[in-house]
Chain A
Amino acid sequence: MKLLAVTVSIGAAMLVMTTATSYAAGGDAIFKKSCASCHYTDGPAKEKTIADQLAKKGPELWYAGSKFQKAWLGAWLQDPKPIRALKYNSLTDKNKGDHPKSSAADAAALTDYLMGLTSPEVKAGVIKAAATPQAKQIFNKKMPCGGCHATEKGGGLSGPSLVGAAKRLNPDWIYAYLANIKHFKPVRDMPDFGSVLNPKDLEAVAAYVATFE
């Protein structure tokens, strides 16, 4: 009896282990089959020239686990609504909203896989969402952020919409991205603000973007 219990518990432990690994491998395998033609997941950043960036069919996802909030990702993969107003890498065509949809089970496996892809550049637990007057002034008046990004109040079209950033993006990633954009995106049509704004202002702006509903 005792032996049986031990065997069963070892068996159960092994089962947990194998399901855990095969679960992750499942997301990995689905990704290779259905997603890798448009997204790369092996960092660091590969783009060296404008042509490299323009050749991509979708955003890089090698730091997806640092960038996105898990709940948002799982839901979005099942019902992907446009994030960018324009077609990826186009300044003329509209985003048709034709991103592939995943089933609930695939979305869960893919989410586990993608949330495991993180960047050590992102320090956890530093930025807390907050709309300070100082940050509002920077985002809306002193800096051109709104010229390229839409918020609830409207704005530019060339950058990803920041509507819903509060639920979509990890606040700590927003800060890391603004402070060290070259690590994530060596080639992109957003200016590098890492040396334009001081660290305090960068933190404040990141915290502000993290409040956008």
Chain B
Amino acid sequence: MSRIVMTAAVALGLALGAGSAAQAADTKQVFDFYCAQCHGEKGDGKGINVTKDFATDPRNFTNKEDMEKRSDEDIRGVIKDGGPSISKSPLMPPWGATLTAAEVDGLLAYIRKMCNCKGK
């Protein structure tokens, strides 16, 4: 019992302490953590998961020609709902329940910087 009380007290202390320290992570950190595993840190589509078993190459974000065909809305949508939402491979996961709207907007801007392009 005293253990539970103590754990609860510690947890509460932590929650209080961390609340004020919590700040939005910068977009590079968000991209490197969630997206680089498939798209690569440079966005070239050569992440660590892309082995011979990987059926569809992740999009190369540095390819201007491909990336300017996509509207900003499409890119936001595919990040949130995954590849099938725009008839693309399900290997592109749905991140809508994981990322905040602000993080998705940040990633869109980051990808637009990588392709050095605007959406049509």
Contact = CB atoms under 8 A, between A and B. Distances in A.
A44 B7 CA distance: 9
Interface stretch (B33-41, B59-67, B69-77, B107-115): B33-41
B49 A46 contact: no
B42 to A, nearest CB: 12
A156 interface: yes
Contacts, number: 83
Contacts of A58: none
Given A91-B48, A92-B48, A50 B33 contact: yes
B18 interface: yes
A2 interface: no
Interface in A24-51: 42-44, 46, 48-51
Contacts of A146: 53
Interface string A129-168: 0000000000001111011100001111110000000000
Contacts of A42: 7, 10-11
Contacts of A82: none
13 contacts: A42-B10, A46-B14, A49-B23, A91-B37, A141-B90, A144-B93, A147-B54, A156-B49, A157-B49, A189-B33, A191-B93, A191-B95, A194-B97
Interface of B: 7, 10-11, 14, 18, 22-23, 25, 29-30, 32-34, 36-38, 41, 47-49, 51-54, 82, 84, 90-95, 97-98
Interface of A: 42-44, 46, 48-54, 86, 91-92, 141-144, 146-148, 153-158, 189, 191-196
